[in-house]
Amino acid sequence: MFSVYGVTGRVFTGTVEQLRHIDKVNAVARLHPIEANDLVLEPELSVTPFEAETPHPKGLLPATAVAAYAQVSQPDTPRQPLDRVGLLMTQPAVTVRTDVPLAIAAALLARHRVGQMPVVDAQGQLVGLLLRADIYPTLEIPSATDWADRMALPVASVMWTPVASTTADTDIRRVAQVLLDTHLPGLPVVDDNGTLTGFIGRTDILRAVANDPPLDVWG
């Protein structure tokens, strides 16, 4: 199942076929490499990630699918099919609040070596998605003062909203189709209340394929 969240809350819930008709979620990711900087993050500006409560069968660890890959190397370990978002997603997700300056958001992305972050409000509810490319405009900034002014803007001024999301029990193949349709690098994962529980990205899916676990995307 997929939902779309914006600053007013959940505005859509439906199937991948219905999601295709929501024009505002058909984003084009424009990710560019950036260098890590020495900007010090103030503790009160960072967001404490939310721990997921999604059950994981047969003792699979919730943090990432890495633990599942390790089990593959043990001949007597039963191979658990990885076919749901909750078994592959990164959790807890790196998040940022709407009111955080872009300079702080850029430092968070660089520190965690990710190209995007779900954006949440003060209550931890999903409201958007911040792409690294959207922090750095394609047009040249005229002066250092203008650049400083831009980096002082809040995340809410450049984030993608509304943004598509998914749930931990969604079929991985469905998520892969949405990523192809929208060109987004990944989808936030939320619970029934819209609280963020993780992030499922292209890298998570590719990592599962590369490490040859029993990833059930072809069945």
pLDDT tens string 132-190: 988 987 677 778 888 899 999 999 999 989 999 999 999 998 999 899 888 888 999 99
For residue 213, pLDDT beyond 50: yes
> CA 217, 174, 11 angle in degrees (round to 5)?
160
| Adjacent-strand bridge partners of 3 | 13, 165
Place of tokens 């890298």: 203
To which H or E segment does residue 3 belong?
A: strand 2-6
pLDDT class of 89 with cuts at 50, 70, 90: very high
Task: Check residue 14 and give its pLDDT.
Answer: 84
C-alpha to C-alpha distance for 85 and 73, rounded to whole angstroms = 22
In single-letter form, the type of residue at position 37 comes to N
Collapsing DSSP to helix, strand or coil, 70 comes out as: helix
User: Which residue did the predictor score with more confidence, 96 or 75?
Assistant: 96
CA 72 to chain centre: 26
Task: Check residue 187 and give its pLDDT.
Answer: 95
Residues 117-133 pLDDT 10s: 999 998 889 999 999 98
Domain residue ranges in the chain = 2-34+59-70+82-210
Superfamily of domain 2-34+59-70+82-210: CBS-domain (3.10.580.10)
Buried b (16+ CB within 10 A) or exposed e, 101-124: bbbbbbbbbbeeebbbbbbbbeeb
Question: What's the mean pLDDT when you consider all of the chain?
Answer: 76
